[in-house]
Every structure is written in structure tokens, then in C-alpha cells.
Structure 1
Amino acid sequence: MKVFFLCFLCSITFSLSAFASEEIITPSLSTIYDLAKEAVAKKIDADAKAKVQITPQNLEGRISPPACYSPINVELASERAISRNNMVKLSCNSPDYDYPWQMYISVRVEIQYPVAVANQLLSPDQIIGEHHLQVMYVDQYSLKGQFFSDTTTLIGSRVKRRVAKDSPVLSNNLCFVCKGDTVSIYAKTTNVEIKTLGEALRDGNIDEVIRVKNSNTNKQFDAVVIGVGEVEVRM
């Protein structure tokens, strides 16, 4: 019985010593915000050109964090990918409580990408020129399709579907090669590049495979769209 009591006493003493060796901090709300933002930022997968804004929920007047044994544990409440609204869990052992303290804070994420948009109404069959476009930052959740980050790529392409002023010019709004167009056909090998003319047998955009016909031989084959009025036969 004495052995048991001594062991129990040693256990208590060890536990108290362990906590005593840890730093006690009283986190401010700004610290809570920074920890939550950092946890979310680590999981964001966005292009280097994107603008990212991370905004924690305002807790002013709603909560007063207790004293904590350092460090404060921070983790996302879900394993899913970062979305517009995210939940972060913070917890710590506290001398003020007999149990671990924890709280949840909502964190909003806005990611904007540079996008080529129409600076005027674009109508079907219109050929896009530099004066038709500008670059604006657009929220990723407003983009429903393949967009373009610069205007240069789009110059010379043809509008297939009406594009409203200030709207993103998406891949399905236009064609870089349109059905019936005369196209330059390139065929490359290690040592030589061959160029000939042909006819596009259907619409196509960058990196799409379309059917074309060689104007000299009338032979049909598949080719990859590489630019406005240009396709390439991959050999």
C-alpha cells in the first residue's frame, strides 16, 4: 500500500513538474487570428499570380482566450481542400481548466486570378483584337470554364458565343481554329520541320485535337491546335 501511494505521489509530482516546465501564455485575439490564418495558408494551392486574401471570423467581444501552456495546437477541422469558408480548431492545456480548452474559428478565403475579360460587347464571328480586351482579377468561384491570364494569346481568335462587357473570355466562347478556316499545318521531326496548308474540318482551341485536310493531297488526319490558324501533327 505504501508503495502504491509513493508511486501515485511520484506520478502527481511528475505531472506538475511537466506543466511547470512549460511556458504559460495568454494569447490575444490577434494571436488567435494569426494562428488560424497560418493553418489555412499552408493548405492553399494557388498559382503564384493569384491574389489570396485570408480573413478570420471577428471574435471581438465574443471570446477571451484563457491562459495556455505553450504551444497552442492548431489544425483544420476538416481534411477537405480549402474552400471559401473553412473551420480551424485551436486547443491547449490551460491552468484555468481541469480539461483541455478548445475553440473553433471560421476563416474565409478569397482567391482571385488575373483573367482576360472583354472591355466591350463581343459578338459571334468577331475577330478579337488587343483593343477588345483587358486583364482584371476575378474570383475563382466566378470562373466556370477555361480562362486566359493574358490577352496576347487571344489576339486573332474568333468569337463563337456572345461575351458581355467585363465578362471573362472563356475557351468555349471562341475558336483559335474555326471550321472551314485555312490553317498552317506543321509536322516536326528531330531534324526537320515541314509546313503546308490545309482546311480545318471542325472548331478547335489551344491543345485540342481536331480533324484537318491537307489542301494538296486531300488527305485527312488529326492535328493539335497550337495557335490562331495553326495546327501541328505530332509525330
Structure 2
Amino acid sequence: MSKLKIFITFSIFSSLLLSTLNAKEFTREEIKLFAKNYVAQHLPTSQGSKRVITPADIDPRIHIKPCSVPLQANIPENYSTRNVNVKIYCESSTPWNIFLPVRVAEEIPVLVAKIKIAKGTVLDESNVAIEWRPLHQTRGEIIRDPAIVHGARSRRSLTSGAVITRRMFCVVCKGENVVISAITDNLTIKTKGTALANGVRGQQIRVRNNRSGRVITAEVKTINQVVINL
């Protein structure tokens, strides 16, 4: 064998040996964390929400070879918003790749019942609170500010943990006595009335003036108070 061939063979052997010595062994937890961080950095999220990213466990039968170069990852173009199959791969002299399913849950803050609530119960900080819930499990017009419902009444019975929407409570409730404020540029006139429908803040409802018997449409202002602008 010529000296050149010996030198080339030795160089290749040395490179392979050095690559093997410098190769890093990755635990399954390290690869899961790598996948989690990659998804967190490369998938968009909605404003006001957060993501809970949960990589699946790696099959213990899979043998993970050491890698002498930094790991790489790839997310397929057509992926589910809640399930991503992340490709993790090594491009060293002994390349390998695995596909790791990652579950992505987008959560938003919503108002929920802290305890079981009976119909007609006044809502306050003792029985409602803000919690993070998966976006795909929420329905209806959600509430993010508990102050909106404080003093309102539940229109139905609610189980502990139930998400509260605007349809489930009334700031002014049907049949209740209310104060009607008729407002002009220079004057405010108040009288008593009876709500003919349930309503929340900002909603228009029908109200009967108890003095005149006249039915008017007024805007729900706050607890047991409605307003009409003249």
C-alpha cells in the first residue's frame, strides 16, 4: 500500500474516531424537551392565550445513537393544530431520525364556577373565578373579567368547574324591580319599574314603568338599574 493510501486511510479512521468520541448521547427526556422547545418556537399562538405542549413518551425499544452534531427538527407543513408529529434527526456520520408525536393545547382564561351554584344565586368572588381552559372546549361568549358578573344572579344551576357565559346570568332579571333613569343633557329623572326580560350590562331589554304602566326599552346599566337616553 502506498504512503498516500495509508495516509488517507489513517485520516478517515481518525476522523471517524474523533467523531465517535465527540458524539453526544441524548436521553429520552432530553429529546422530548428538544421537541417541546422546537414546537414552542415555531408554532404561532393567539394573543391572550397560552399553550400547553406535551411530547409523547419515546418507545423504550427504540435505540437512540449518539450524535456528533447538533440535533435538528422539522414540523410537516400539513399538521393538526392540536397534534404535531415532529421529526427529530441527526446528520452525523451515523445519521438517524425519529418521529415524536406532540400534543398542543391552546388555553385561554375563562370565568368558571368555583363551587356548585343553584339557580338564582348571587355571583361573587366566593363562587366564581378565572381559570385557564383548553380553547377547543369553550363554547359561547366567554367572560375574562369576574367583575362583570359580581352581583348578578345565575339563571340556571351550575356544576363546579362549569364555564360561565353571558347566557347563564342576568344583571337585571325578569320580574325584578329596577330603577329607571331617564337622562337628558341637563337632567336625570328616576322612577321605579319592572324588568320584563333578563339582561346583562349594555343589553337592551323591555321594562314596565310602574307608575304609568308604559312599556319601554332601556339599557341595562348595573345591578337592578336601567337607563334610557332622551
Q: Which residue of 2 aligns with 1:117?
A: 113
Partners in 2 of 1:127 and 1:168 — Cα distance?
16
Q: Which residue of 2 aligns with 1:96?
A: 94
Partners in 1 of 2:151 and 2:122 — Cα distance?
6
Check conservation: 1:202, 1:210, Cα contact below 8 A.
Answer: no
- Could you tell me the percent identity over the aligned residues? 19
Instruction: Please provide the CA RMSD for this pair.
Output: 4.1
Change (3 A) 1:76 1:47: farther
Partners in 1 of 2:88 and 2:184 — Cα distance?
58
Q: Which has the larger radius of gyration?
A: 2
Matched, 1:105 2:104: no
Change (3 A) 1:158 1:115: closer
Check conservation: 2:183, 2:228, Cα contact below 8 A.
Answer: yes
Partners in 2 of 1:168 and 1:129 — Cα distance?
15
Change (3 A) 1:73 1:175: same
TM-score normalised by the chain length of structure 2: 0.61
Q: Unaligned regions of 5+ residues in structure 2, if any?
A: 1-21
Partners in 1 of 2:200 and 2:223 — Cα distance?
8
Q: Which residue of 2 aligns with 1:155?
A: 150
Partners in 1 of 2:187 and 2:65 — Cα distance?
69
Matched, 1:72 2:63: no
Among 139, 147, 162, the residue aligned to 2:133: 139
Q: Which residue of 2 aligns with 1:8?
A: none
Aligned residues: 199
TM-score normalised by the chain length of structure 1: 0.60
Among 198, 208, 211, the residue aligned to 2:205: 211
Q: Which residue of 1 aligns with 2:14?
A: none
How far off is 1:79 after superposition? 4.7
Per-residue CA deviations over 1:196-229 (Å, capped at 9, x if unaligned) read 556544322245x323458489474464x45433
Change (3 A) 1:38 1:156: same
Partners in 1 of 2:100 and 2:182 — Cα distance?
56
Check conservation: 1:196, 1:214, Cα contact below 8 A.
Answer: no
Check conservation: 1:177, 1:183, Cα contact below 8 A.
Answer: no
What is the DSSP-based 3-state SS (H/G/I as helix, E as strand, rest coil) of the residue aligned with 2:148? Answer: helix
Letter in 2 for 1:90: I
Q: Which residue of 1 aligns with 2:4?
A: none
Q: Unaligned regions of 5+ residues in structure 1, if any?
A: 1-23
